[in-house]
Structure 1
Amino acid sequence: MKIKDWLENTFNTIKKKINTVREVQPGNFLKMANEITELAEACTHICHPESEVLIQIERVKIEMAQLIELTSKPEFKRLSIQRRLELKESLIQSREQILNSIQTAPAPTRFLQ
């Protein structure tokens, strides 16, 4: 019974590591960066032109362009898995903040369409 448990635990550990490595592949970051860029672009059309949120959104768009460029370079693959997981969490937070900004943006007009 102990060997079976050991094999099962080892298999599950290896499976988790493989899934983690797949999660942090450059292609996944490229997809997330493109998605965030599209959301940021939509937010620029919705937010008030003089709002502080718009300045932050523009900064996010610049950072996403840099990330898209970085994912195509070998240096990105040299980042540790831990660093890539942290970057992934940061991207998820950015996406959530942009979605929140879109949802809380005031209507562009007082009139219903």
Structure 2
Amino acid sequence: MIGWFKNKIESFKAHRELARQIDPRHLKEMALDIRDLAVLASQLNPKERDIQKLIRNVIIEMDRLSKLADRPEFKRLSTGKRLLLRQGLKESRDQLLESIESAPTPTQTVQ
């Protein structure tokens, strides 16, 4: 009996965590965070036009996603689609962080 109850509690906790992860507000926060990282990446790589074009596209898409997350239709997306979206946002964030970390230093002087 105790094992069954423990399993139910664990299942409930997992369900709550999943619901929190795919909540439209959480996805909107992720999109805005990625947008801010993209702006930072564009400031760190000002000379490379190809990268600037990609970064502009990321900024536009994140603005669009944050607006879509506010709409009621977004809540009707399936759990699977929202999980895929979250995974894509997470990968985009990781790639932007790598880009920021690998950006050349603005000066040769050691700080």
TM-score by length of 2: 0.89
Q: RMSD value over aligned CA atoms?
A: 1.5
Structure 2 counterpart of 1:49? 47
Distance 1:22 1:104 in 2: 32
Give the drift of 1:58.
Answer: 1.1
Runs (5+) with no aligned partner, structure 2: none
Distance 2:96 2:76 in 1: 29
Describe the superposition over 1:9-41 as per-residue Cα deviations: whole angstroms up to 9, x where unpaired. Answer: 122112211111112111111111111111111
Provide the identity percentage: 36
Secondary structure in structure 2 of the residue aligned to 1:79: coil
For the pair shown, the structure with the greater C-alpha radius of gyration is 1
Structure 2 counterpart of 1:74? 72
Size of the alignment, in residue pairs?
110
Structure 2 counterpart of 1:90? 88
Matches within 5 A, 1:1-113: 3-109=1-107, 111-112=108-109
- The amino acid that maps onto 1:76 is F
Distance 2:21 2:97 in 1: 22
Runs (5+) with no aligned partner, structure 1: none
Give the drift of 1:50.
Answer: 2.8
- Decide whether the 8 Å contact of 1:40 with 1:61 is kept in 2: yes
